[in-house]
Amino acid sequence: MTDWVLSLEGTDSGRGVAFALVILAAVLHAVFGALQKGKLDPWLTRGAVDVSYSLMSIPIVLFVVPLPKPHLWPLLFGAMVIHFIYKLCQAMAYERGDYTVVYPVVRGIGPLITVLAVGYVFGENYNWLQWSGVMCLSIAIFALAGVNLAQNKLDRRTMGIGLLFAVLAGFGVAAYTTWDAYGVRAAVDPFTFIFWLFVLEGILFPPISYLRYRHVADKPAFSALASRGIIGGLVAIVSFGAIMVAARLDKVGEVAVLRETSVVFAALIGWLFLREKVGHLRLCLMVSIAAGAILVEFGG
């Protein structure tokens, strides 16, 4: 697998594979979001998912991928800290704000800041057509959050702080996307960085989840947490792994923007499987999000 990925670097075939991987990741990210949208405490769900993909990755780092080179360890530990801060902000946003509002805010800020960051870090340049696509996608996602905020009956007392943490989480998305892309490109074997990061991520957040579990009055069944964690862990490994390989093969900014079509797939999942109403306004916004992503990907 590693030799195949490395052979695709800098080729048109590599760009095509990256595109397919990002679409796969966007679909799986929508599924992952639906898992976190459930009735279980977001702190507990996040901890269960982290434990699951960390344990799943241990055999791979022990027997499949090579050990990280010395220069890779600071990048791995830095990524672990950035992901931890992002997860804290995300859990705070989900706890205090409605998912249908805070999730689009997080996903709308992420690509906009990422495209700015990768211009500095990787020297990526985008033309006016691609920048118009970035703005179209981000504005449409923010508008989707606004529509949900206006139409849903929400607790306005906690919504403000929820939105604040959603904004911080959005910056976290940009930070970990840029940092992880740098790390996966610095590794001789990209899967070394990917799977060692999965192992390390099981260190910081799960203890917080355990402390919360001990103090919540209405404790969820262990089987419910375990099943959510295992499914979420599998989805996260494939989704994040696909994004990281795509970031090795294509422009990081384009990958980051295209990933946010997960908002569209999330709405489609809600409409097709959860019987949620989409409406004409939401449909128009979903089309705008997809159009923005297409402009960024094919406007260069």
55-75 pLDDT, tens digit per residue, is 999 999 999 999 999 999 999
Token couple for 57? 């990755």
CB 130 within 8 A of CB 296: yes
Give the span between the Cα atoms of 32 and 50, in whole angstroms: 13
Residue 108 located in a structural domain: yes
Give the span between the Cα atoms of 64 and 31, in whole angstroms: 28
pLDDT at 221: 85
pLDDT band at 256 (very low <50, low <70, confident <90, very high): very high
Q: What is the mean pLDDT of residues 11-28?
A: 94
Rounded percentage of the chain residues whose pLDDT exceeds 70: 94
Q: How many domains does the chain have?
A: 1
Q: What is the mean pLDDT of residues 208-232?
A: 88
Is the alpha carbon torsion for 270, 264, 141, 238 positive or negative?
positive
Which segment of 80-84, 94-98, 209-213 scores lowest on mean pLDDT? 94-98
Residue 248 located in a structural domain: yes
Domain with 250, as residue range(s), is 2-125+153-262
Give the tens place of pLDDT for each residue, 101-110: 888 888 899 9
pLDDT at 38: 59
Residue 146 located in a structural domain: no
Question: Does position 174 have pLDDT exceeding 90, yes or no?
Answer: yes
Residue 140 located in a structural domain: no
Residue 288 located in a structural domain: no
Residue 144 located in a structural domain: no
Question: Does position 79 have pLDDT exceeding 90, yes or no?
Answer: yes
Single pTM value for the model? 0.92
Q: What is the mean pLDDT of residues 162-188?
A: 95
Question: Does position 291 have pLDDT exceeding 80, yes or no?
Answer: yes
pLDDT band at 35 (very low <50, low <70, confident <90, very high): low
pLDDT at 155: 64
pLDDT at 157: 64
Q: What is the mean pLDDT of residues 241-248?
A: 96
Residue 293 located in a structural domain: no
pLDDT at 37: 59
Give the span between the Cα atoms of 1 and 146, in whole angstroms: 43
Question: Does position 167 have pLDDT exceeding 80, yes or no?
Answer: yes
Residue 249 located in a structural domain: yes
Which segment of 10-24, 26-40, 85-99, 123-137 scores lowest on mean pLDDT? 26-40
pLDDT band at 197 (very low <50, low <70, confident <90, very high): very high
Better-scored residue on pLDDT, 86 or 148: 86
Better-scored residue on pLDDT, 109 or 157: 109
Question: Does position 36 have pLDDT exceeding 90, yes or no?
Answer: no
Question: Does position 275 have pLDDT exceeding 80, yes or no?
Answer: no
The mean pLDDT value of the chain amounts to 90
Token couple for 30? 């929508």
pLDDT band at 31 (very low <50, low <70, confident <90, very high): confident
